[in-house]
């Protein structure tokens, strides 16, 4: 069965960096594009970024451009999110999700990132 397991969340100071990982199993990871979606405490879902199945193209929401980078290692079945220059407003649960067509068919359980001094 499809499984997506995020890790790497934690508490970081404003201006700091963090790298999230999403370990995929139960499907051929290299065949699928992948997303990161975040959810601030008590707030709605916000799409963050998408990377194509081969890493050739990446797309970002405006508020993270230049600070957050998505990447993947298909040999390790793992998706990454490198977050730099973190701000309080980046505090959220970060979910990885698999792309199928133009929707998100499987989601991980999420990892919490807290940006606070």
**Nearest CA-CA partner of 98 in 44, 43, 30:** 30
50 contacts other proteins (rule: CB under 8 A): yes
Whole-angstrom CA distances from 5 to 10, 17, 90, 104, 110 are 15, 20, 20, 15, 7
Tokens representing 10? 């934690």
Under rule CB under 8 A, which residues in 63-92 are in contact with other proteins? none
63 close to 40: Cβ distance less than 8 angstroms: no
Q: How far is the CB of 17 from other proteins (least distance, A)?
A: 24
Q: x/- binding map, residues 18-37, to other proteins, per CB under 8 A?
A: -----------------x-x
Those residues with Cβ within 8 angstroms of residue 76's Cβ, 6 or more apart along the chain or in another chain? none
The count of residues interacting with other proteins (CB under 8 A) is: 23
From residue 94 to residue 113, what is the string marking binding to other proteins with x (rule CB under 8 A)?
A: -x----xxxxxxxxxxx---
Residues that bind other proteins in the complex, under the rule CB under 8 A = 35, 37, 44-47, 50, 59-62, 95, 100-110
């Amino acid at each position: 069965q499809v499984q997506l397991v995020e890790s790497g969340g934690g508490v970081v100071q404003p201006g700091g960096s963090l790298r999230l990982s999403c370990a995929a199993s139960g499907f051929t990871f290299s065949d699928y594009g992948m997303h990161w979606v975040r959810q601030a405490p008590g707030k709605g879902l916000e799409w963050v970024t998408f990377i194509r199945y081969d890493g050739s193209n990446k797309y970002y929401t405006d508020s993270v451009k230049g600070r957050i980078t998505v990447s993947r290692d298909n040999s390790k079945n793992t998706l990454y999110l490198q977050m730099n220059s973190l701000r309080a407003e980046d505090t959220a649960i970060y979910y990885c999700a698999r792309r199928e067509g133009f929707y998100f068919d499987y989601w991980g359980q999420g990892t919490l990132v807290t940006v606070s001094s």
